[in-house]
Amino acid sequence: MEKISNLILPVIVVVIVVFGAVKKINVFDCFIEGAKKGLVTFTNILPVLTALIVAVGMMRGSGGLDLITKIFSPIAKLLGIPIQVLPLCIISPISGSGSIAVFEDILRNYGPDSIAGRVASVIAGSSETTLYTTTVYYGSVGITRTRHTIPSALIADLVNFVISSLIVKITFA
Amino acid sequence: MISYVWLSLIVFSFIAAIINGTFYELSASIISSGTDAVQLCIKLLGMLCLWSGLMNIAEKSGLTNLISKLFSPLFSLLFPRLKNNKHIMGPVSMNITANLLGLGNAATPLGIEAMKRMKEVSPLDRTASNEMIRFVVLNTAAIHIFPTTVAVLRQSYGSANPFDIVIPAWISSMVTLSCGLLMTRLLERERWKR
C-alpha cells in the first residue's frame, strides 16, 4: 500500500505534462500561467488564515480548547474518535480555512505520524466544508427551503470522522 | 456564519483565560499566531503554485474534459431523472471532476451553473429538488485524488511518509459519500412531483 501511495503524485504529474505535450500545448508557459494563479490564491487566503489562526491560537493558549475537548470527550470516546481531533471535527463543517488552522495545530502538537495526526490528516483529506458549500450553492439560485440537505451532509460528516478514525486504527496500529 | 464563529472563539478564549488564569499564555499566543499564519501560508505557497500550474495544463489540454467524459456514465447513475439532459449533466460532471482533482476554484462556478440549470426544470420555486439535494451533498463529501494541502503540512512537520494517508483518505471519502447519498435517499419521502 505504501508503494502505491508513493506512486500517486509522480503519476499524476507525468500524465498531466505528457498529455499536455501530446496535445501540442506549450506545457512550460502553460504551467507558469497557472502557477501565477496560485499566487493569487495565496494572497486571498493569507488574511483569512491569519484571522483564524489567531483565534485558534487564543483558544489553545487560554485553555479554552481543552475545556471544549473535555466537554465532548465522552461522545468522542463512544464513537472511537481520538479526543485530540475533536476541534477539527467541530470546525470542519463550518470553515475550510478554519480546518487548515486547526489541522496544523494538531500536527504541531501531536506530530503527523501519531494516531491523532493521522486521523486528522485523513479527515482533512476527505471532507469539504458542508455549511459553506450549501450556502453558496443554494444562495446562488435563491433556494431557501433546503429540506434534508444539511441533515444528510452533517450525518455524512459524522460518518467520515468515525470511519477515518477506524481506518487509521486498522491501517497503522 | 464564519464571522460568528470567529467572534465566539475569541470571546470564549478570553472567558477561558479568566477561568484558568492563563492571561500570559493568551497574550503569548496572540503574538505568535500572526507569524504562524505567515509561515503556514509560505509552506502552502509552493504546492499551491505547483498544483495550479499543473491543473492549468490539464484544463488547457482537455484532460479535465476527457476525465469528465469518462466518468459521466457513473454520474448518470446518480441522477437518473436528468441523465438524458446534456444541458444539465455537462456542468454536473465537470463540477465533480474538478472537485476530484482538487480544483476548488473551478468547481464552484461549475456547480453554481449546474444548480441554475437544475432549477430551470424544477417545478418548485424556493424549495430544493431531490436532484439538487443529491448534487449539493455530493459536493460536501468530495473525493480528492490527491490531498495536496494535507501532504504538504504533513511533510513540513517531519512525517516519515506524508503520502501514506492518501489511500485511507480515499476509502474514507468513498464511505462518507455513499452514506451521504444513502441519507438523501432515505430522507427523500416528501415527493416533489405535483
Rounded to an integer, the average pLDDT of B57-75 is 88
Q: Do B100 and B142 touch, CB atoms closer than 8 A?
A: yes
Distances (CA, A) of A164 to A114, B38, B79: 14, 29, 28
Neighbours of A68 (CB within 10 A): 17
Asked if the structure places residue B55 within a domain, the reply is no
Q: Which of B128, B154, B173 sits opposite A121 (nearest CB)?
A: B154
Q: Do A148 and B184 touch (CB under 8 A)?
A: yes
Q: Nearest C-alpha of chain A: how many angstroms from B102?
A: 10
Same structural domain, B81 and B4: no
The pLDDT > 70 percentage for chain A reads 99
Residue B105 CB-half CA count within 13 A: 14
Q: Do B169 and A125 touch (CB under 8 A)?
A: yes
Range of the domain at B29: 1-45
- In tens, the pLDDT along A60-108 reads 899 998 898 899 999 999 999 999 999 999 889 888 888 999 999 999 9
- In tens, the pLDDT along B142-180 reads 788 888 889 999 999 999 999 999 999 999 999 999 999
A 23-62 near B (Cβ less than 8 A): 23, 25, 27, 30-39, 41-42, 45-46, 49-62
Same structural domain, B75 and B152: yes
DSSP structural state of residue A25: -
Asked if the structure places residue B118 within a domain, the reply is yes
- ipTM confidence: 0.89
Same structural domain, B73 and B154: yes
Same structural domain, B8 and B69: no
